[in-house]
């Protein structure tokens, strides 16, 4: 009788605007894919909000338009709806098939952006997370930390129309950074804070050190 594949691992990248998540996710995916290939394990990369057809439609509502387009509660509800669809259609099926999943943002962003940045608070966000996820959590969350002003300068230098959050005031972005760091302090076993205020190669090395050591890849095995 054939054995079922081992459950895949779920890794998330988090951080404020301009922290370099998208760049580092591409680099990590390349290294991780090569490492997993030797074990016959696949890798899927995805993002939030988005990652499934329905969630991508909701993404357009969240990342474009005027900064005051939604209340904090409405934003949190939209993110939660997108997340549930993403999990049902993309993340959970991949993990059950034994594939690893690497995601650009996940539930910590809702807590940081809406809970801390927009002042919604932890309690309501935690209630929404429980409704959408139950007890599901990432195996590892990498939080890319960067000085707020440095990150915003980097973000402004990018081109593209998904800049609604970037245009929010400096106080919002400082609360956002503080929120991510508080999340990491609350869950040190799940979260690893990476100093993102360095050259991309240096950040990449720090990320791989965290991934390989925490998930057992440095020893050529999956812990």
The per-residue pLDDT for range 88-122, each reduced to its tens digit, is 999 999 999 999 999 999 999 999 999 999 999 99
Query: What percent of the chain lies above the pLDDT cut of 70?
Result: 93
- The radius of gyration of the chain from alpha carbons, rounded to an integer in Å, stands at 17
Q: What is the DSSP letter of 101?
A: E
Looking at per-residue confidence, does 2 or 141 come out higher? Answer: 141
Please give the angle made by the CA atoms of 204, 210 and 211, to the nearest 5 degrees: 90
Domains and CATH numbers, the chain: 10-214 (3.40.50.300)
Coil, strand or helix: which one is 100?
Answer: strand
Q: Give the C-alpha distances (Å, rounded to integers) separating 196 from 5, 31, 179.
A: 35, 18, 16
Please check whether residue 76 is in contact with residue 58, taking contact to mean a CB–CB distance below 8 angstroms.
no
Residue 174 clears pLDDT 50, i.e. is over it? yes
Contacts of 60 by beta carbon, 8 Å cutoff, 6+ apart: none
The overall average pLDDT reported for the chain is 91
Number of neighbours of residue 172 by Cβ within 10 angstroms: 19
141-171 pLDDT, tens digit per residue, is 999 999 998 888 888 776 566 678 788 889 9
Q: H/E/C letters for each residue in 121-163?
A: CHHHHHHHHHHHHCCCCCCEEEEEECCHHHHHHHHHHCCCCCC
Q: What is the pTM of this model?
A: 0.91
Contacts of 153 by beta carbon, 8 Å cutoff, 6+ apart: 18
């Amino acid at each position: 009788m054939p054995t079922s594949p081992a459950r895949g691992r779920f890794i998330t990248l988090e951080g404020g605007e301009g922290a370099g998540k998208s760049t580092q996710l591409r680099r990590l995916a390349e290294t991780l894919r090569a490492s997993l290939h030797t074990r016959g394990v696949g890798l899927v990369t995805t993002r939030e909000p988005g990652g499934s057809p329905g969630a991508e439609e909701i993404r357009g509502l969240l990342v474009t338009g005027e900064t005051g387009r939604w209340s904090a509660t409405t934003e949190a509800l939209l993110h939660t709806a997108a997340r549930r669809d993403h999990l049902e259609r993309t993340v959970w099926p991949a993990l059950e098939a034994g594939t690893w999943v690497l995601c650009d943002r996940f539930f910590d962003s809702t807590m940081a952006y809406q809970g801390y940045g927009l002042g919604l608070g932890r309690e309501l966000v935690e209630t929404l997370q429980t409704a959408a996820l139950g007890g599901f959590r990432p195996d590892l969350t990498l939080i890319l930390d960067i000085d707020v002003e440095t990150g915003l300068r980097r973000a402004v230098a990018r081109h593209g129309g998904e800049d609604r959050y970037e245009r929010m005031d400096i106080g919002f972005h400082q609360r956002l950074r503080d929120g991510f760091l508080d999340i990491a302090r609350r869950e040190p076993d799940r979260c690893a804070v990476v100093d993102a205020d360095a050259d991309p190669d240096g950040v990449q090395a720090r990320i791989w050190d965290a991934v390989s050591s925490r998930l057992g890849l440095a020893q050529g095995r999956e812990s």
